[in-house]
Amino acid sequence: MENDLSDFISLAKNGKIAWEKNPLKLIYLHSVDSTNNFASNLSEVHPDQKQNYLIMADSQFKGKGQKENSWFSPPEVGLYFSLLINPDIPARDILTIPETWGEMVKKTIESIPGISAEIKKPNDVLISGKKVAGILLESKIQGEICRTIIAGVGINVNTPYHQFPPELKPLATSIQIETNRIFSRSEFMIRFFNLNKDFNIL
């Protein structure tokens, strides 16, 4: 249910969710084409903005995956979010970020008892050979400096098998399918930020 995000949303709006010790400003959307697109547009409107943002949506109607693929993003069951940060770092330093984000998502998934995950490079996360999460990293570079990084994440949390389109059923899974129980999306997000608060993305 959508309200299983309410605990996390409340924490974020009260400044309790941080990235590298700086509180994130949450923008929560019931539906959007893509959280990465929203983040990209936001960075265009405020190109010199130093505020880091977390854009979350309950559903996406044009969720973005790797290589122009789409990410199936039905309401109330998955996590779809993008982190918008403005690091101003040498562009060469961003080369390892996709793999690092995959490790962060994998670490959070494996904090759930009974689950073992693996990374399919560069940044898909699999359980039993099926995709449970994907990460899409986009950046904006001026000269040799990376001004903006947008890290988009899609995670199949409680997506039931029957809800996947026919073409995805042999390829995709969810935490619910693997554990046979509903998992709180708020709890997953809280775990994600708590477990990875000391992760150096660079």
pTM for the full predicted model: 0.92
How many C-beta neighbours within 10 Å does residue 97 have?
Answer: 20
Q: Is residue 162 domain-resident? A: yes
Q: Is residue 117 domain-resident? A: yes
Kindly report the average pLDDT of the chain as a whole number. 88
Helix (H) or strand (E) holding 36: helix 35-45
Q: What total number of domains does the chain contain? A: 1
Q: Is residue 111 domain-resident? A: yes
Q: Report whether pLDDT(65) > 90.
A: no
CATH of the domain at 85: 3.30.930.10
Which has the closest alpha carbon to 19: 42, 50, 63, 59?
50
Catalogue the E-assigned strands of the chain.
Answer: 18-19, 22-23, 25-32, 53-60, 78-85, 89-90, 118-120, 124-127, 130-142, 145-156
pLDDT of the residue at 202: 47
- pLDDT bracket for residue 36 (50, 70, 90): very high
CB 100 within 8 A of CB 199: yes
Range of the domain at 150: 2-195
Which has the closest alpha carbon to 158: 138, 136, 184, 139?
184
pLDDT of the residue at 48: 58
- pLDDT bracket for residue 22 (50, 70, 90): confident
Structure tokens at 39: 């983040």
CB 136 within 8 A of CB 36: yes
- What whole-number distance in Å separates Cα of residue 32 and Cα of residue 128? 30
Q: Is residue 105 domain-resident? A: yes
Q: Is residue 29 domain-resident? A: yes
Q: Is residue 157 domain-resident? A: yes
Q: Is residue 41 domain-resident? A: yes
Q: Is residue 202 domain-resident? A: no
